[in-house]
Amino acid sequence: MFADAKALAGAIQDISAETAACVSPDLPLRANLSARENIALIPLYQKSRGVAEATQLAQALLDKLGYATIGDKRDPDMTPAERFVAKIARALILNRQRLIIERPGAMLYDIPYPAFLHELSKRIDEGPARWEVFDFEWNKILYS
């Protein structure tokens, strides 16, 4: 979806957190946890998995996304792309029907992000069928 700032904010507000997992600049990683711990939190607390199993699931997801080495890094030590991948993995492990990526340009400001998003989505063969990107109208040209 492409819209101006006001319409985008309205559309994002209407998204139900029950059915959609969001990757947003407004939903940061927990700063004192590593990327792997941030992802493992979900199976640990929400699905009552054991620590070892939750950690394994988190690492497997990072491996699949092609960022196996960021597992031990904390938020301030990650590059924008690494941070974004950690957020994507956290959203994927939620296993909700939709994956919403909100204002990717605000998170991936130092790389050509449409191509990066496309590349990442190709590495995931399960989870939400469609990645939905909510971006500003004036960035539409970047996706063509």
Question: Which residues in this chain contact other proteins in the complex, by CB under 8 A?
Answer: 17, 22, 26-32, 41-42, 44-46, 48, 50-51, 90, 94
To 5 degrees, how large is the angle CA 140–CA 28–CA 132? 35
Work out how close the CB of 119 gets to other proteins at its nearest, in angstroms, rounded to a whole number. 25
44 versus 133: smaller Cβ distance to other proteins: 44
22 versus 88: smaller Cβ distance to other proteins: 22
CA distance 29 to 90: 9
Q: How far is CA 55 from the centre of its chain?
A: 18
Residue 70 tokens read as: 């960021």
28 versus 66: smaller Cβ distance to other proteins: 28
CA distance 79 to 60: 20
Residue 35: exposure state from Cβ atoms within 10 A (0-12, 13-18, ≥19): buried
Cβ distance 91 to 22 under 8 Å?
yes
Work out how close the CB of 141 gets to other proteins at its nearest, in angstroms, rounded to a whole number. 30
Work out how close the CB of 28 gets to other proteins at its nearest, in angstroms, rounded to a whole number. 6
Work out how close the CB of 73 gets to other proteins at its nearest, in angstroms, rounded to a whole number. 17
Work out how close the CB of 79 gets to other proteins at its nearest, in angstroms, rounded to a whole number. 19
16 versus 144: smaller Cβ distance to other proteins: 16
Q: CA of 27: how far to CAs of 21, 47, 62, 88, in Å?
A: 11, 21, 19, 11
49 versus 64: smaller Cβ distance to other proteins: 49
